[in-house]
Protein backbone atom coordinates (compact mmCIF):
# COMPACT_ATOMS: atom_id res chain seq x y z
CA UNK A 1 0.00 0.00 0.00
CA UNK A 2 1.26 3.45 -0.81
CA UNK A 3 1.83 5.48 2.34
CA UNK A 4 0.85 8.90 1.13
CA UNK A 5 -1.02 9.96 -1.99
CA UNK A 6 -1.38 13.68 -2.49
CA UNK A 7 -2.49 16.06 -5.20
CA UNK A 8 1.13 16.37 -6.42
CA UNK A 9 1.30 12.62 -7.21
CA UNK A 10 3.69 11.84 -10.10
CA UNK A 11 1.70 10.05 -12.81
CA UNK A 12 4.94 8.71 -14.29
CA UNK A 13 4.82 6.12 -11.49
CA UNK A 14 1.17 5.21 -12.07
CA UNK A 15 1.80 1.99 -14.01
CA UNK A 16 4.02 0.45 -11.35
CA UNK A 17 1.94 1.77 -8.46
CA UNK A 18 -1.34 0.52 -9.93
CA UNK A 19 0.15 -2.93 -10.53
CA UNK A 20 1.39 -3.09 -6.94
CA UNK A 21 -1.92 -1.91 -5.49
CA UNK A 22 -3.97 -4.30 -7.64
CA UNK A 23 -1.74 -7.21 -6.59
CA UNK A 24 -2.17 -6.32 -2.92
CA UNK A 25 -5.94 -5.99 -3.39
CA UNK A 26 -6.19 -9.36 -5.13
CA UNK A 27 -4.15 -11.02 -2.38
CA UNK A 28 -6.35 -9.56 0.34
CA UNK A 29 -9.56 -10.53 -1.43
CA UNK A 30 -8.37 -14.09 -2.05
CA UNK A 31 -7.27 -14.44 1.56
CA UNK A 32 -10.86 -14.78 2.69
CA UNK A 33 -10.19 -12.66 5.75
CA UNK A 34 -13.38 -10.95 6.88
CA UNK A 35 -12.03 -8.90 9.76
CA UNK A 36 -12.81 -5.22 10.10
CA UNK A 37 -9.11 -4.39 9.62
CA UNK A 38 -8.93 -6.43 6.41
CA UNK A 39 -12.04 -4.71 5.04
CA UNK A 40 -10.60 -1.29 5.89
CA UNK A 41 -7.37 -2.16 4.09
CA UNK A 42 -9.35 -3.37 1.05
CA UNK A 43 -11.32 -0.10 1.02
CA UNK A 44 -8.12 1.93 1.30
CA UNK A 45 -6.53 0.06 -1.61
CA UNK A 46 -9.65 0.60 -3.75
CA UNK A 47 -9.55 4.31 -2.90
CA UNK A 48 -5.86 4.55 -3.80
CA UNK A 49 -6.44 2.81 -7.12
CA UNK A 50 -9.34 5.15 -7.89
CA UNK A 51 -7.30 8.21 -6.92
CA UNK A 52 -4.44 7.29 -9.25
CA UNK A 53 -6.79 6.43 -12.13
CA UNK A 54 -8.67 9.72 -11.75
CA UNK A 55 -5.58 11.87 -11.19
CA UNK A 56 -3.73 10.37 -14.16
CA UNK A 57 -6.80 9.95 -16.41
CA UNK A 58 -6.45 6.16 -16.68
CA UNK A 59 -9.55 4.19 -17.60
Single out the residue of 59, 35, 36, 40 nearest to residue 49, CA to CA.
59
Eight-state DSSP code of residue 4: -
Along the 59 residues of the chain, how does pLDDT read in single tens digits? 677 788 889 999 999 999 999 999 999 988 877 789 989 999 999 999 999 999 999 98
Per domain, the residue ranges of the chain are 13-55
Pairwise CA distance, residues 47 & 22, whole Å: 11
pLDDT of residue 40: 93
Pairwise CA distance, residues 31 & 41, whole Å: 13
Amino acid sequence: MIDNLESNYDCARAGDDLQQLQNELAALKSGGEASKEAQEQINRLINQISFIRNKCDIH
